[in-house]
Amino acid sequence: MIRLTQEQNASTKGNISILVLLSLISLVVMFVEIMLVPDLRQVASDFTNGAEWISWVLSIYLLVGGVVTPIIGKLGDIYGTRNLLIIVMIIYLFGLLGSGFSISISNALLGEANIFVLLFFRGVQGIGMGMFPLAFSVIRNVFPQERIPFALGLVSSMFAVGTSIGLVLGGWLTSVDTWNFAFHLVAIPFAVLIVAAFFVVKKEQGVEKGEKIDAVGAALLGISVFCLLYAVTAGRTDGWTSTKIISFFVVSAVTAVAFVLWERRSSEPIVKLSLFKNLGILNATLVAFFAGLVMFLYYQTMPFFLETPVALGGYYGFSDTFIVGLHMLPTAAFQFIFGMTGGLASKKYGSTNVMVVGTAIMAIGFLVLTQFNDVFWKLAVSQAILGTGIALAMSSLINVVMDFTPKQEFGVSSGMNTLFRTIGGAIGPALSAAVMAPYIIPGFEELYRYEGFDRIWTVATVFAIVAFLIALIFRKGGKQGKSS
């Protein structure tokens, strides 16, 4: 009996170490992805070529991440998660360092500061998104069933913590130094996390079944989403009815259809369409797409709203990125508060019910934002409501997936959910740039009239309402998967 207790204590300590490690990974990754948000205008101005592609600083990371995440999740199911997690973390570190040195590299290779070098390394960072389905699989493999919702909720809540720190500390770093320095600095603790993962996460046996990776499906998906994003981004400059833009839209549609047809006949699909027969999984997947879309619509537009000079019709006119980060803090703070409780609420009230409530509050938040934004206390209220909704919606998603997915399919299912969330997120910045293009203030690139912000937040409100209706309609649907 004493030996059993000691083993249980050792297991508990090991689980705590794993949970701390995975939480810190999530925190650091989200910090990196948000730390540039307050300084996007400065990033654009630092590049002499391609500054108009600034929205892709967020989009390319999400696009690459969306394509490779289900593949990495599948590889984790086949070969085990520990070694793959470490490899993906090393690739992410390479992307961090490359992004930090992107201006120097582009000057050395091209003779000018070209933003496409930064976009390349941001794409490399996108591969790091595969850490998340691997982390979720580690939790499901090592934690007792009754503690899984809390563990998943805690790791998911670190997205909000990283966001909070990224907005404030990232804003401060970019105000006292440069955004390049911020990349260099964050690479240090992430390298430490790689070493920690080597010792903390135990090597497990994979469930190899001789499966193959769906490279064709991944290529078709990547081409489809890339062509869509390119057309949305370039349409404002090349003309929406130009042959070039129409061609990209057509290629996107054709490859999307080809992707679906290929996945239906593939023996090892990147997106297992049969899982969508379960309405619970379909529910979480569709909500994930729209939640990712509206969240990045907000993050792409709010810094520019706060930075628009009063003399040009803005309400705030901040030039200090630290101040911009502070004024975006209410959203992140409430994401943190309700992200921490989202997992527990999912266990107590049901994950689908929490998702319904979260999407409803998210829609209300955007609606209020369109009306309450001219002074900080109003803006803070709007952001608090929005942050609450985003946190509850996002933290419930992984628990919905877990509730309705058999354990052996969890890596694929969680990867699919992340895929659709990140594709939505990738579309968000490009869509915001397209919708707001008619409202650019002449002579001031990336500065917009107030009507542009009102229009894009109204669009976000509509998408959030769609997410709520999907969650509401399908909340009773589906057949729960077995957890073992």
pLDDT per residue as tens digits for the range 276-301: 888 888 888 899 999 989 988 888 78
The one-letter amino acid at 72:
I
**Encoding tokens for residue 419?**
């895929």
Query: What single string gives the DSSP state of each residue in 69-133?
Result: HHHHHHHHHHH-SHHHHHHHHHHHHHHHHHHHTHHHHHHHHHSS-BHHHHHHHHHHHHHGGGHHH
pLDDT of 11 reads: 53
Do residues 203 and 38 make contact, with C-beta atoms less than 8 angstroms apart?
no
Task: Quote the crossing angle between the two packed helices 2-35 and 131-142, to the nearest 10°.
Answer: 160
Q: Residue 365 — φ and ψ, nearest 5°? A: -60, -45
Structure tokens at 305: 């709203």
What digits encode the pLDDT tens for the residues 49-102? 766 677 778 778 877 877 787 778 777 777 778 888 999 999 999 999 999 898
pLDDT over threshold 80, residue 267: no
Q: Would you state the pLDDT for residue 388?
A: 92
pLDDT digits (tens, 9 = 90+) for 130-141: 888 788 888 877
Query: What is the Cα–Cα distance from 403 to 407, expressed in whole angstroms?
Result: 10
- pTM across the whole model: 0.75
Predicted local confidence at residue 5, as pLDDT: 47
Interval 189-216: pLDDT, tens: 999 999 998 888 877 655 555 566 777 8
pLDDT grade, residue 455 (50/70/90)? Answer: very high
> CA neighbours within 13 Å on the CB side: how many for 347?
14
